[in-house]
């Protein structure tokens, strides 16, 4: 009887928790899904702007949170603002002295409803305020704030000279805990470990810590050099994390160990870098893990929240967790045991020729589902809308660089990375229907060239904006000799510029589509449909078709029970509603600027709203063409059906 009752509760759980938006990304399962269905495929064409709120001159990617009739947003310099959810009218504001986490906040409410708090990270401090007034909760931490560095100090990592640990990942509230992944302070070698901390939401007291880089003697320590926690950093959950609230399990997707593109000083697999780790949410105890990239040298950190959903296999329901990646793979595991739903194969991959580097001989490849992103870039893929001379230059670069397909390691002469480390998918880029087994992902084609430089070396050519100089065989041999000479004197810290291979027209070297939406049926593991997402705001003289897909879109996805998928693209400043069954566009609305955040949906007084953050600026898609008008200030735009 108990098992039957538990099965019934778990089956009803998704429908019960997806009618509010009081958690980041909608709910603890990070589904980016609403069970509200007043807005559906039959009436979405009638959507209109219900209210707007100005947010100031900044790049807004903040995901609105909705609770107790209020919408919590970020505005001004660093102001946390509460708006009336029905009208968008200002209710209260709280200025903050330091930067506030740019992607979202958390909400907690006591069982009796008397204590309601907004918890957020600002200036490297976890802060708690009264959700109804914005006033500081003095009893929390030290007069309302907790320094996130304290947990590192308690585990033996020196915090001398360590700046406040500010992160855009708001973490998750579970019961009376708030669970936070620490940021890695520096993108370079001298970085702190990105441990996971849990704090009491009432007192601010640290309750548990999970070491993302294990202490000597802990599981995984043998995959690093000895005493790695004292000398290495990174392995941080910079993106998002997810909680199975019914089971008390938190799923944490970790990033790479630092430095992102060279690991000669961190020989080994480097657990728990690039791993999906399931922890007991009450204690921080590891339940299971799976490392998705071994000894990462591509910056292939796990960039998006794990998604919890239920699939049907062989006539039975199975609760799973799905993890999308930058390299374009979708890994699907049993939520409780970590067993892969479909086999994952360890396959040989190209090996590094950089002195001192020891890349791992194999990497995991899921046999199903099929990849959602493009994983090769050859001469036949060169962008046909570029001038002839630039196409020839790109062809010469492809012939010169290492280009051995997926997992081509960085090199001294330059290596093609496809998908690039800002390609595949990224935070906010996946939504699911948690009870139907359907998953939607925003895919980005953005190849990158990775070239390692010796300390003090200058990049041989322009980065980001044009062709870099091709390294000759003689020059490469000279660089190898110099690297070996440097290694003979001690550890070497290679660097690498970011080079997205943009051309004089600021278009990618690879041809369209530059972004797509891909729909999966995870009951079968098959792709249902894929369509280009958005277009490029480029001069008509270039002849780029309307179905090119947007360049570098960062707007998040929202799936609805009304059969819709909402998504905004950056370069064409347009919000779209897609039919979840077919991928057909049913509604569009021009936005004042790019939208790089995740839309939210909620209901007030029987009316369903969709609210989206709009960037003040060109968002993550910088101004690529001088003819583009100056962008307006940031804002929040809410849509609803007419009264």
**DSSP string computed for 358-398:** ---SEEEEESSSPPSS-----GGGB-TTS-HHHHHHHHHHH
Q: Which of 555, 552, 547 is nearest to 513 (CA)?
A: 547
The answer as to whether 194 is a domain residue is yes
pLDDT for position 631? 67
pLDDT for position 538? 74
* 53 confidence band (pLDDT: 50, 70, 90): very high
Tell me which of 339-343, 518-522, 554-558 is least confident.
554-558
Strands (E), 550-605: 557-560, 564-569, 574-579, 585-590, 600-604
pLDDT for position 504? 80
CATH number of the domain that 485 lies in? 2.140.10.10
Strands (E), 61-124: 65-67, 70-75, 79-84, 90-94, 106-109, 116-122
Predicted confidence (pLDDT) at residue 635 exceeds the cutoff of 80: yes
pLDDT for position 16? 52
pLDDT for position 461? 43
282 three-class SS: coil
Q: How many domains does the chain have?
A: 1
Q: How many residues does the chain have?
A: 643
* 620 confidence band (pLDDT: 50, 70, 90): very low
Tell me which of 138-142, 228-232, 464-468, 509-513 is least confident.
464-468
* pLDDT tens digits, 496-522: 998 989 888 778 899 999 999 999 999
Predicted confidence (pLDDT) at residue 162 exceeds the cutoff of 50: yes
Tell me which of 92-106, 151-165, 226-240, 574-588 is least confident.
151-165
Tell me which of 154-163, 209-218, 222-231 is least confident.
154-163
* pLDDT tens digits, 88-98: 999 999 999 88
Output 276 or 621, whichever has higher pLDDT.
Answer: 276
The answer as to whether 8 is a domain residue is no
The answer as to whether 5 is a domain residue is no
Query: Between β-strands 634-640 and 607-614, what pairing exists: parallel, antiparallel or unpaired?
Result: antiparallel
Output 456 or 137, whichever has higher pLDDT.
Answer: 137
Predicted confidence (pLDDT) at residue 462 exceeds the cutoff of 90: no
Output 257 or 1, whichever has higher pLDDT.
Answer: 257
The answer as to whether 634 is a domain residue is yes
Predicted confidence (pLDDT) at residue 533 exceeds the cutoff of 80: yes
pLDDT for position 555? 86
The answer as to whether 212 is a domain residue is yes
pLDDT for position 471? 92
Residue ranges making up the domain that contains 596: 13-640
The whole-number average pLDDT for the span 101-129 is: 96
Distance CA 520, CA 442 (A): 12
> What is the separation, in whole angstroms, between the first and last Cα of the chain?
47
The answer as to whether 3 is a domain residue is no
* 14 confidence band (pLDDT: 50, 70, 90): very low
- Percentage of the chain beyond pLDDT 70 is 93
pLDDT for position 454? 94
Output 579 or 570, whichever has higher pLDDT.
Answer: 579
Predicted confidence (pLDDT) at residue 15 exceeds the cutoff of 50: no
Q: Return the structure tokens found at 576.
A: 């779209």
Tell me which of 93-102, 308-317, 320-329, 610-619 is least confident.
610-619
C-alpha gyration radius of the chain: 24
The answer as to whether 512 is a domain residue is yes
Query: pTM (2 decimals)?
Result: 0.95
Output 240 or 620, whichever has higher pLDDT.
Answer: 240
* 633 confidence band (pLDDT: 50, 70, 90): confident
Q: Which of 44, 99, 21, 186 is nearest to 564 (CA)?
A: 44
Write down the mean pLDDT value for the chain.
91
User: Which pairs from 476-481 meet CB under 8 Å and 24+ separation?
Assistant: 476/412, 476/413, 479/412, 479/413, 479/454, 480/355, 480/412
Output 570 or 410, whichever has higher pLDDT.
Answer: 410
Output 302 or 546, whichever has higher pLDDT.
Answer: 302
The whole-number average pLDDT for the span 618-642 is: 71
* Cα torsion 45, 48, 53, 59: sign: positive
pLDDT for position 571? 72
The answer as to whether 223 is a domain residue is yes
Q: What is the CA angle 283-286-288, rounded to 5?
A: 145
pLDDT for position 250? 98
pLDDT for position 469? 77
Predicted confidence (pLDDT) at residue 392 exceeds the cutoff of 70: yes
Q: Return the structure tokens found at 583.
A: 């991928």
């Amino acid at each position: 009887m108990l098992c039957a009752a538990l099965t019934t509760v778990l089956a009803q759980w998704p429908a019960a928790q997806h009618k509010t938006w009081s958690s980041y990304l909608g709910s603890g399962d990070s589904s980016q899904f609403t069970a509200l269905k007043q807005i559906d495929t039959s009436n979405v064409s009638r959507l209109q702007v219900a209210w707007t709120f100005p947010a100031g001159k900044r790049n807004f990617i903040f995901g609105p949170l909705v609770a107790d009739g209020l919408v919590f947003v970020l505005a001004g310099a660093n102001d946390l603002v509460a708006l009336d959810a029905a009208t968008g009218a200002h209710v209260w504001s709280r200025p903050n002295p330091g930067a506030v986490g740019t992607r979202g906040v958390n909400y907690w409410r006591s069982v009796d409803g008397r204590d309601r708090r907004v918890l957020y990270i600002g200036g490297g401090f976890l802060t708690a305020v009264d959700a109804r007034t914005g006033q500081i909760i003095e009893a929390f931490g030290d007069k309302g704030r907790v320094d996130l560095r304290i947990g590192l100090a308690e585990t033996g990592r020196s915090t001398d000279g360590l700046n406040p640990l500010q992160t855009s990942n708001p973490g998750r509230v579970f019961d009376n805990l708030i669970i936070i992944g620490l940021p890695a302070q520096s993108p370079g070698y001298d970085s702190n470990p990105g441990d996971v901390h849990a704090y009491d939401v009432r007192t601010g007291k640290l309750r548990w810590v999970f070491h993302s880089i294990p202490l000597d003697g802990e599981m995984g320590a043998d995959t690093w050099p000895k005493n790695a926690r004292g000398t290495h950093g990174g392995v941080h959950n910079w993106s998002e994390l997810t909680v199975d609230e019914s089971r008390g399990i938190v799923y944490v997707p970790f990033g790479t160990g630092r430095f992102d593109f060279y690991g000669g000083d961190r020989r080994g697999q480097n657990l728990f870098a690039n791993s999906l780790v399931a922890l007991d949410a009450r204690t921080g105890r590891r339940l299971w893990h799976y490392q998705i990239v071994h000894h990462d040298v591509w910056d292939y950190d796990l960039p998006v929240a794990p998604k919890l959903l239920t699939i049907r296999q062989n006539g039975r329901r199975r609760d799973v967790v799905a993890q999308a990646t930058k390299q374009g793979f979708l890994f699907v595991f049993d939520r409780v045991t970590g067993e892969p739903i479909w086999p994952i194969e360890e396959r040989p991959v190209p090996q590094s020729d950089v002195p001192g580097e020891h890349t791992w001989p194999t990497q995991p490849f899921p046999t199903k589902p099929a990849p959602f992103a493009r994983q090769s870039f050859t001469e036949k893929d060169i962008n046909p809308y570029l001038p002839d001379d630039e196409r020839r230059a790109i062809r010469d670069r492809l012939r010169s660089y290492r280009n051995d397909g997926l997992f081509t390691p960085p090199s001294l002469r330059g290596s093609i990375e496809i998908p690039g480390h800002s390609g595949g998918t990224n935070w906010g880029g996946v939504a699911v229907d948690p009870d139907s087994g359907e998953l939607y992902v925003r895919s980005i084609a953005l190849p990158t060239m990775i070239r390692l430089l010796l300390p003090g070396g200058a990049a041989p050519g322009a980065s980001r904006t044009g062709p870099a100089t091709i390294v000759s065989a003689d020059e490469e041999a000279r660089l190898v000799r110099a690297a070996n000479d440097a290694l003979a004197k001690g550890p070497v810290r290679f660097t690498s510029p970011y080079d997205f291979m943009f051309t004089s027209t600021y278009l990618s070297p690879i041809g369209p589509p530059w972004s797509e939406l891909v729909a999966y049926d995870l009951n079968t593991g098959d792709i249902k449909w894929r369509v280009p997402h958005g277009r490029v705001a480029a001069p008509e003289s270039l002849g780029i078709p309307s179905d090119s897909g947007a360049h570098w879109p960062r707007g998040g996805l929202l799936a609805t029970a009304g059969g819709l998928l909402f998504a905004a693209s950056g370069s064409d400043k347009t919000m779209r509603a897609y039919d979840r069954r077919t991928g057909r566009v049913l509604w569009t609305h021009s936005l004042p600027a790019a939208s790089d955040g995740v839309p939210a949906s909620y209901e007030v007084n029987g009316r369903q709203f969709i609210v989206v953050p709009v960037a003040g600026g060109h968002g993550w898609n910088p101004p690529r063409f001088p003819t583009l008008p100056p962008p307006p200030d940031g804002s929040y735009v809410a849509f609803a059906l007419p009264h």
